[in-house]
Copies of this chain bind each other. A is one copy, B any other.
Amino acid sequence: MKLVIAVIQDKDSGKLLEMLVDEGFKATKLASTGGFLKAGNTTVLIGVEDHQVDDVVGIIKQTCKSREKMVTTMSPLGGSVESYVPYPVEVIVGGATIFVVDVEKFERV
């Protein structure tokens, strides 16, 4: 038995938990913040059989992988207050930090 501890972005947690449940895994979502102090993170605990670790890591990659996304920002372009115009920028969203820990004893009561 292994415990998969995944720190992911809040916005990816719905997709991840839905896919885990679809595949028959049980997950527990902890409220968390951080990774470089950023708000909006979630920690997910998933207890799995040893041979299921790669499946779960695959599901986390599929639903939470860091990727580029175009967003429209209003930040000043040139440092002058007159230059606030909407323009698209590419940002990195998502990403997951995954720890797999051995479970010596597992019980469901």
Residues of A within 8 A of B (CB): 1-3, 5, 7, 17-18, 21, 26-37, 41, 43-45, 47, 53, 57, 60-61, 64-66, 95-109
A26: chain B residues within 8 A (beta carbon) = 35-36, 97
A53 adjacent to B109 (CB under 8 Å): no
24 A-B interface contacts by CB (under 8 A): A1-B99, A3-B99, A17-B34, A21-B37, A26-B35, A26-B97, A27-B37, A28-B43, A30-B30, A30-B43, A34-B44, A43-B45, A47-B97, A47-B99, A53-B105, A65-B109, A96-B107, A97-B106, A98-B108, A98-B109, A101-B101, A101-B102, A101-B103, A102-B102
Counted per complex, copies of this chain come to 3
